[in-house]
Structure 1
Amino acid sequence: MTDHHLLVHDGTFARVTDSGDMTGARGTAPDGLFSRDARHLSRWELSVDGSPLQVLAPASRTGPCRPLTAVLTPPGSRDHPPACTVFREQVLADGALTERIRLTNNRPVPVTAHLRLTADADFADQYELRGDDRTYAKPGAVHHVEVTADGLAFRYERPAPQGVPAWLARTVVTAAPAPHTAEPTGERTAHSLRWTVQLPAHGSSDILLQVCALPSGADVGPPPLRSPGDVADRLAADRAAFTDRAPRPHDLTGWSELARACEQGLADLADLRLTVDGADGARVRVPAAGIPWFFALYGRDCLLTSFFALPYRPELAAASLTALAAVQGAEYRTERQEEPGRILHEMRHGELAHFGDVPYGRYYGAVDSTPLFLSLLHAYTQQVTDDALARRLEPVARAAVEWMFRDGGLGDRGWLVYSSDAEAGGLANLNWKDSVGAICFRDGTPAEGLVAVAEAQGYAYDALVRTAELARVSWGDAPYADRLAAAADDLRRRFHRDFWMADDHFPALALDGAGRRIDALASDAGHLLWSGILDAGHAAAVGRRLMEPDFFSGWGIRTLAAQQSPYHPLSYHRGSIWPHDNAVIALGLARYGLAEETRAVAGGLVEAAALHGWRLPEVLAGYDRGDHPSPVPYPHSCSPQAWAAATPLALLTALASLPGGAGSPARADSSLPDAGHERSRLAPDSRTPRPVPSRG
């Protein structure tokens, strides 16, 4: 099996094999150079003297942001070792892959090497690469390639109907020295660049290459050609400004494994930062959701990621809030679920979104992004003890509250509700468990009609309480604050009455359109602890039930308790284990003082991180710890994924709030408000951070 390696920077990523090649792979693990949802380089295959290269040392880095380096040779034997060795360095920045190929002569006499690099750009949209058997018509689409003086220029064009801009995506390959020839391979637009390299005895020769992705609408050209080392130095400085400043995880905890996982999480969050337009046109850097499938602005993902990182890197929250404010719903557009005041679910920039072949260009199909936005606005205000952003975004926040009551369903139905958007080509469910069948009864029957999922009611409650305090303290509107607080109290009272399943001592997953309790036992209940909608007795019952073996695998809490009919350990949302889901639950457990349970969840996740190179993936299979000595991978998982990367930070915050603590920055409980919301949460927190004891 070939391993793959990632290079990531500001909305562009490259996925290469051990040798540094790209093969045009599709399905669960596509390789190539990707920017704005399109594959701008699908083939990038190196050979010497007509032979594929053997890997002596697979692609690896010597440190953060250093070039990815592989050592390769043509075929050889013990008695006839290869004449030359290839050292390959690759780095990515500013939408461009930069590569240096160094050929070194291993012999004491001059050698002539014939180097060939085959390149192609299929410009495939990511939705075409997923391997889910979907196909899309592309009338009039044309691929071009031009041989230039120093490389190749690929171009992909698709005409547009009136009123829609035409599509023009480009990829520019530049080489120094220029290739001696560039010849078509006969496979669509693929070309082979060839160099004849004269190597002196034990000498070397370098070829410097750049592949620049220029998405449709890009108004800039390729950056200057630079060495991989120069590019890496600039990237390292930018990343260090994010990862290396205080507070640093190792200064906050004596649990070295947790600190290590936190540091990897910060490094991944640095790489996943995506530059987008914020409010008033300012450019801000938000956490993109994940690689490869979700490298874009996602409302729910960036809001929860920002919550987890808030005590440590609050600028992510400020960026996410302003970016989502800039694209808040302004009108009724059924095809993309847009409604005035609604907060975005996702924003895509690929060809299929541009032409409306998928509805996700600007898609608002989320029941929970809007209340999470309101909660994060308050939490950020509390964390930084400055309400300037809260005052600036007051109109946005009021519009979001209005959406919850008007279109979200709180006003006329009493709950935040949604209906499936699957028939229109959108999402089957509009909560975080958005896959088909994820919201189901215990026998596996899917929910129908207007669905009120439990965790969204908790988010709504928390949003109302927090926004009431913003209204009272930051906006000076006491009557509005009183109305929101009263609505929150009423929602909490009705939730206990209508969602609680007395025989199970557990809340329903949701209510369906007929008002029936959807009785599957699911991890969503743990989110109710985080939001504070449950009273202490019900919260304790939920927290302890989630730690029973049918939920807790030893690595984490499953999305659906085992032994139920719809449970499957390899289902996306009906039995798998999501680190971010567990992070929310851990914060909730800590909030209600369930210390043993909090530490158990943290321990399982930290050990899982250690067995994944300290990087938690998006999702793990739901198998029990006794089934295999390490967590079983989920085959379609994204990695890195923003909210998984931020999960160790949430664990650090959760542990810090317990007696004996984990150590955390001041006011770390901005994402862990006191149960019942009795105290003013805009007031600074007087608790003193304490270090986490080492595990004994």
Structure 2
Amino acid sequence: MTGGTTLVHQGVFAVLDDVGDIRGTSGRSPDGLFVRDARHLSMWRLRVDDADLEVLSPGLLIPEGARGRPPGYAVFREQAVGSGVLAERLRLVNHTSEPRTARVRYHAAADFADQFELRADDREYAKPGAHRSCEPTPTGVRFDYHRGSWHAATVLHTDPAPHGVTVVADGASLDWTPRVPAHGSAELTLTVALLPPHGPVADQPAHPAAVVAPRTVSAGIAADTGAFLEAARRPGALTGRPELARACEQGLADLADLRVPAAGPDGEPALVPGAGVPWFLTLFGRDSLLAAYFALPYQPAPAADTLRALAATQGEGHDAARLEEPGKIVHEVRHGELSHFGQVPYARYYGTVDATPLFLVLLHAYTEQTGDTALAERLEAHARAAAGWLFASGGLDEHGYLVYSPDPAGLANQCWKDSADAICFADGTPAAGPIAVCEAQGYAYDALRRTAHLAERVWGDRAYARDLDEAAASLRHRFLADFPSPDQDGFPALALDGDRQRADVLASNAGHLLWSGILDAREGAAVGRRLLEPDFFSGWGVRTLAAGQHPYHPLSYHRGSVWPHDNALIALGLARYGLREEHDRLTSGLVRAAARHGYRLPELLAGYGRDEHPEPAGYPHSCSPQAWSTTAPLALLTAASDPQWAA
């Protein structure tokens, strides 16, 4: 997201413009106030004396047109989200020697749009029987949305109560006429309470005294984040590089805010990394697992909660519509209206080939990092089911590799590069399934080895451990024979297609093989050095595809851009194979990019090189904050301070 302000904390987020307004836009860059995949405020506009406001500095506004002459008012606006609310405090300061009566108006609306509607690129979803209503209350206004048994509400409380509320076609206008003393001030506090389905009971009457100051909300957020950081191992003490330390600290703080409520196998509460704002603030198998993995050496709680939440949503039966299979780890969990009514398949969608092995990788890494075997003991049945899926449904038994087939109703590609054109040959031709992407084979190899270790050391099952170790060795032997591309000097193919043809485009996925350790020392060193050559390395990071190839485009989502999490895994792999010079170059580029983005790495960057453009170019519609990007600097620090941690 570019411009404006994004506020986020534990499942609630607001995308506001620079003034603090919500203007009611739609499409690929939505603004609004969201919880559980629904927009609970689609309009939130402030006017003072019938004028829009302009920014002097963040939170300090004046009426438009006042520049060039002293304005009668300065308007101080504080906003915070958290605990199911947007809280706002407005303070009008009269800088003149005469008392004034101000006219303050808020225009509010709640369209309750599902996030999939806002992402739909002009696609419309039928909503038979849907009904919205707006009713004044003694302290503000209430918006309700009904569709059958589906009921959500947004309730606005104010202190003092508005002098007038006018319901109009697109929402409601609330008016105040405060008397502002000479050289004095007047204040107004507003609280927008979000009542989603399956959250607080939407039919519960709103209490008229339920007004919360933004500083109270901010104090609660600060206390929550402070407790999260206090329990963490502080990364700044582990590096002499101030910019890397700042990016790591920012990553931990962002991770605290991006946690969303979930539940474990017995319904116990959990807080898991939501993938990112604005589109993906929910439990994601792959994204949540890797964000938790990057943070694990510094704050293990997200890893434990993510493992529990994913165990609770693990596949139990066969459901072709959402690609559920026994033992499979979920790709995406959604809570919105369209998911509830089956209009999109994502209430629980299992279209991922890599979340299941990554679940096993994280379970072992958590056990090793913390010394806590209780979680591995508790999740033994889930881990065995996940390992069983690798063989029975994932493809290891039938195909010899972990494979996926394109889902006509969902994702064509079910790896981390999941756009439709991402998995291709050097001439740009898309691969056809069943597709075996290279990095998933590395994940599977690592998962089998790690689970064998748990089986022997924690579960006391040496026979099972031996079977898993033998399967890992067999997978590695096949991989080293089938994936290196003779036409690319042995560089691993991006994938094997359904005919076992190598998708021979030069892609960053090969760097993940260093992290998983499936390559031998010579091949690993060759891959690592190749990834730092100029066609791959932009100066900021390794491109998803090497420049100069037919499919390369610096503004393609997966065919030329630079992804921080992709680079973080590569950095861990470079350190594992002892490629210190390459690791340091990669880390320096990413840290420079982070410093130019306020020490928060976005979801991805454009692929332009530093020789083409002197600053790291943003990518349109990139999520920020985004969990596995903001935590990527933590992985860079781990690679520098403990090169063998991932091994």
TM-score bracket relative to the smaller structure: over 0.9
1:537 equivalent to 2:518? Answer no
Residue 666 of structure 1 corresponds to which residue in structure 2? none
Q: 1:503 to 1:443 in 2, by over 3 A?
A: closer
CA distance in 1, matches of 2:168, 2:633: 48
Secondary structure at the aligned position of 2:628 is classed as helix
Shift of 1:246: 4.7
Residue 351 of structure 2 corresponds to which residue in structure 1? 365
Secondary structure at the aligned position of 2:104 is classed as strand
1:83-122 matches, cutoff 5 A:
83-122=72-111
CA distance in 1, matches of 2:365, 2:2: 44
1:270-289 matches, cutoff 5 A:
270-289=256-275
Q: 1:77 to 1:614 in 2, by over 3 A?
A: closer
Shift of 1:357: 1.0
Residue 266 of structure 1 corresponds to which residue in structure 2? 252
Residue 197 of structure 1 corresponds to which residue in structure 2? 178
Kindly provide the CA deviation profile for residues 126-183 of structure 1, in whole angstroms up to 9, marking residues without a partner as x: 1111262322111121111111111111011112xxxxxx211110011111111111
CA distance in 2, matches of 1:31, 1:419: 35
Shift of 1:19: 1.0
Shift of 1:244: 4.0
AA partner of residue 267 (structure 2): G
1:495 equivalent to 2:479? Answer yes
CA distance in 1, matches of 2:471, 2:267: 34
CA distance in 2, matches of 1:76, 1:378: 62
Kindly provide the CA deviation profile for residues 337-386 of structure 1, in whole angstroms up to 9, marking residues without a partner as x: 10010001010011111111111110111000000001111111000112
Secondary structure at the aligned position of 2:178 is classed as strand
Secondary structure at the aligned position of 1:455 is classed as helix
- 2:279 equivalent among 262, 277, 293: 293
Shift of 1:74: 5.4
Does the Cα contact within 8 Å between 1:269 and 1:646 map onto a contact in 2?
Answer: yes
Does the Cα contact within 8 Å between 2:46 and 2:105 map onto a contact in 1?
Answer: yes
CA distance in 1, matches of 2:514, 2:319: 34
Does the Cα contact within 8 Å between 1:74 and 1:84 map onto a contact in 2?
Answer: no
- Indicate the larger mover: 123-132 or 293-302: 123-132
Residue 612 of structure 1 corresponds to which residue in structure 2? 597
Does the Cα contact within 8 Å between 1:290 and 1:642 map onto a contact in 2?
Answer: yes
**Structure 1 runs (4+) greater than 4 angstroms displaced:** 220-223
Shift of 1:49: 1.5
CA distance in 2, matches of 1:461, 1:91: 45
Shift of 1:71: 2.9
- Indicate the larger mover: 455-464 or 194-203: 194-203
AA partner of residue 61 (structure 2): V
Residue 17 of structure 2 corresponds to which residue in structure 1? 17
Does the Cα contact within 8 Å between 1:560 and 1:567 map onto a contact in 2?
Answer: yes
Residue 150 of structure 1 corresponds to which residue in structure 2? 139
Residue 564 of structure 1 corresponds to which residue in structure 2? 549
Does the Cα contact within 8 Å between 1:45 and 1:119 map onto a contact in 2?
Answer: yes
CA distance in 2, matches of 1:260, 1:486: 43
- 1:406 equivalent among 392, 401, 408: 392
CA distance in 1, matches of 2:77, 2:487: 63
1:181 equivalent to 2:182? Answer no
Secondary structure at the aligned position of 2:276 is classed as coil
RMSD over aligned Cα, in angstroms? 1.4
Kindly provide the CA deviation profile for residues 619-664 of structure 1, in whole angstroms up to 9, marking residues without a partner as x: 0000111111111110020000000011000000101135xxxxxx
Residue 134 of structure 1 corresponds to which residue in structure 2? 123
Does the Cα contact within 8 Å between 2:51 and 2:63 map onto a contact in 1?
Answer: no
Secondary structure at the aligned position of 1:183 is classed as strand
1:209-248 matches, cutoff 5 A:
209-220=190-201, 224-248=210-234
1:170 equivalent to 2:153? Answer yes
Does the Cα contact within 8 Å between 1:21 and 1:45 map onto a contact in 2?
Answer: yes
CA distance in 2, matches of 1:636, 1:180: 40
Q: 1:581 to 1:77 in 2, by over 3 A?
A: closer
1:11-50 matches, cutoff 5 A:
11-50=11-50
AA partner of residue 118 (structure 1): H
Residue 394 of structure 1 corresponds to which residue in structure 2? 380
1:615-654 matches, cutoff 5 A:
615-654=600-639
Does the Cα contact within 8 Å between 1:70 and 1:89 map onto a contact in 2?
Answer: no
Does the Cα contact within 8 Å between 1:499 and 1:511 map onto a contact in 2?
Answer: yes
Secondary structure at the aligned position of 1:99 is classed as strand
CA distance in 2, matches of 1:308, 1:486: 28
- 1:76 equivalent among 61, 66, 77: 66
AA partner of residue 130 (structure 1): R
CA distance in 2, matches of 1:250, 1:404: 39
Shift of 1:73: 3.2
CA distance in 2, matches of 1:529, 1:306: 19
- Indicate the larger mover: 226-235 or 350-359: 226-235
Residue 689 of structure 1 corresponds to which residue in structure 2? none
Secondary structure at the aligned position of 1:626 is classed as coil
- 2:342 equivalent among 356, 366, 374: 356
CA distance in 1, matches of 2:56, 2:37: 33
1:596 equivalent to 2:581? Answer yes
Unpaired runs of at least 5, structure 2: none
Kindly provide the CA deviation profile for residues 383-423 of structure 1, in whole angstroms up to 9, marking residues without a partner as x: 011211111100000001111100111012111110011x2
Residue 371 of structure 2 corresponds to which residue in structure 1? 385
- 1:309 equivalent among 288, 295, 299: 295
Shift of 1:3: 2.4
AA partner of residue 477 (structure 1): D
AA partner of residue 130 (structure 2): A
Does the Cα contact within 8 Å between 1:18 and 1:70 map onto a contact in 2?
Answer: no
Number of residue pairs matched by the alignment = 641
Does the Cα contact within 8 Å between 2:53 and 2:61 map onto a contact in 1?
Answer: no
AA partner of residue 205 (structure 1): A
Unpaired runs of at least 5, structure 1: 60-68, 160-165, 659-668, 674-696
1:208 equivalent to 2:189? Answer yes
Q: TM-score, normalised by structure 1?
A: 0.90
AA partner of residue 8 (structure 1): V
Shift of 1:543: 0.6
Residue 472 of structure 1 corresponds to which residue in structure 2? 456
CA distance in 2, matches of 1:87, 1:41: 21
AA partner of residue 197 (structure 2): S
Shift of 1:204: 1.2
Residue 445 of structure 2 corresponds to which residue in structure 1? 461
Q: 1:599 to 1:38 in 2, by over 3 A?
A: same
Q: 1:2 to 1:565 in 2, by over 3 A?
A: closer
Residue 676 of structure 1 corresponds to which residue in structure 2? none
Residue 678 of structure 1 corresponds to which residue in structure 2? none
- Indicate the larger mover: 640-649 or 104-113: 104-113
Shift of 1:279: 2.1
Residue 561 of structure 2 corresponds to which residue in structure 1? 576
Secondary structure at the aligned position of 2:279 is classed as coil
Does the Cα contact within 8 Å between 2:26 and 2:118 map onto a contact in 1?
Answer: yes
Does the Cα contact within 8 Å between 2:84 and 2:194 map onto a contact in 1?
Answer: yes
